Structure 1
Amino acid sequence: MLSEAAKKKAAAASKPAAPARGAGEVRIVGGQWKRTRLPVADRPGLRPTPDRVRETLFNWLGQDLTGWQCLDVFAGTGALGFEAASRGATQVLMNEADMGLVTQLKSIAAKLKAENVRVLRGDGVAAIKQCAAGSMHLLLLDPPFDSALFKPALEAAAKAVAADGYIYLEAPREWSEEELALLGLGRYRHLKAGAVHAHLLRRAG
């Protein structure tokens, strides 16, 4: 006969795992879906780009992205990718490794009827490498800050970006001109906001 403690333990083990709790929300700051709320799942390392940084980024880029091909490499909440789509980008590919976040992104895109958004599941660096050379007008790189993905992502992005295109890099430190030059990139803009360093990069030369 099971003790009360054993019964409680068995009952707990039989319960399905609880879904990931929400950790708040962010809002799209511009374009046709301005003020639309995006849920932020409770995931390790998930860190949505702050509103102020997103607003500054799209002031740098301009508010009309008509005709642009964009890739949000580590999409997470989709805040960056949906900002680009909201401003009229022709196509925004959102890549994310976490299946739960992929499902969430697809749900948001369906709710917005965002025909210019396509959600992919997979490795971020591999997703960049699948792009034709010089095909992307904007690559959005915001990997987990504790990862080793920064350099390989930048190396791949330097090949995928169009001659007149941009690479957005969000990182826990500032990348120097010398480091970027070794990757064939140059810094166009830089902003520090709290612990975030936002870089807008272009192909060197």
Structure 2
Amino acid sequence: MSRRNSAARSRTPQTHDNSSTLRIIGGEWRSRKLPFPTLEGLRPTPDRVRETLFNWLQTSTPGAACLDLFCGSGALGFEALSRGATSVTFVDQAPEVAYQIRQNLQQLKAQNAEVTCSNVLDWLESKVADQEARYDLVFLDPPFNRDLIRPVVTLLESRGLLNNQSLIYIESESHWVPDGIPANWILHREKRAGQVCYRLYRRNETLTAEDDLIFSPEEGSPLSS
């Protein structure tokens, strides 16, 4: 989870003497620790949540083209790369974030990622519909209580950035009501951890909200603590 003030920041990264670290929990770089800048409200998605998420995605991450929006520490994108994703595009408006992610990619000798320092909505709005790269897996973890999910998911659809059967992970405050989700995004998994709710949707151009997936008994209820 990556929370930060949305106010515009200087384009020149500042040096942080007390940077924090995240730990990659699986894959090629398992247990590697990576620094991220100490910015107000910024912290990686907790290990427990990442472990659950990538258990959900264990057959979908290898070979996937991924998009990490509001990437913050980069925890989700790095985890995907470690577990075999073909590529990750990191997008965040904070120069300190973009700088550190580039440094971490160099440290890991990762050649299959790009980092864009931009406001996420501006970046999405700049895309030309149906003329852009499409993504198999999208991580969406915006700052809480800013009403950013609805415009982001609308732009992902309208700009043609998703493949059929793309998976979209959304992390939100627990009281957020998931309205504005495109009808062809079918809720696949949902879970709550403290004050955070995280959901995984699967896109299908041929389905509508009435075709929601049915969970098998061994998967448990869609929403659990």
Under a length normalisation based on structure 1, what TM-score does the superposition of the two structures give? 0.81
SS at match of 2:98: helix
Distance in 2, matches of 1:39 and 1:200, equals 27
Cα deviations by residue, 1:127-153 (Å, 9 ceiling, x for unpaired):
345386481101110111132311111
Q: Cα–Cα, structure 1 residues 181 and 91, in superposed 2: closer, same or farther, change >3 Å?
A: closer
Q: Which residue matches 1:55?
A: 51
**1:32 pairs with 2:38:** no
The offset of 1:194, in angstroms, is 1.2
Question: What are the ranges of 5 or more consecutive residues in structure 1 without an aligned counterpart?
Answer: 1-17
Question: What are the ranges of 5 or more consecutive residues in structure 2 without an aligned counterpart?
Answer: 1-13, 208-225
Distance in 1, matches of 2:53 and 2:155, equals 21
Paired residue total: 187
**1:71 pairs with 2:75:** no
Distance in 2, matches of 1:83 and 1:154, equals 22
Single out whichever of 137-146 and 42-51 deviates more from structure 2: 42-51
Q: Cα–Cα, structure 1 residues 165 and 187, in superposed 2: closer, same or farther, change >3 Å?
A: same
CA RMSD of aligned residues (A): 2.3
The offset of 1:96, in angstroms, is 1.2
Percent identity between matched residues is: 37
| Paired letter, 2:49 | V
The offset of 1:170, in angstroms, is 0.5
Q: Cα–Cα, structure 1 residues 123 and 185, in superposed 2: closer, same or farther, change >3 Å?
A: same
Cα deviations by residue, 1:52-95 (Å, 9 ceiling, x for unpaired):
11111111011563321110011111100001111111110011
SS at match of 2:186: strand
Q: Cα–Cα, structure 1 residues 55 and 32, in superposed 2: closer, same or farther, change >3 Å?
A: same
The offset of 1:46, in angstroms, is 1.3
Tell me which structure has the larger Cα radius of gyration: 1
Q: Cα–Cα, structure 1 residues 138 and 146, in superposed 2: closer, same or farther, change >3 Å?
A: same
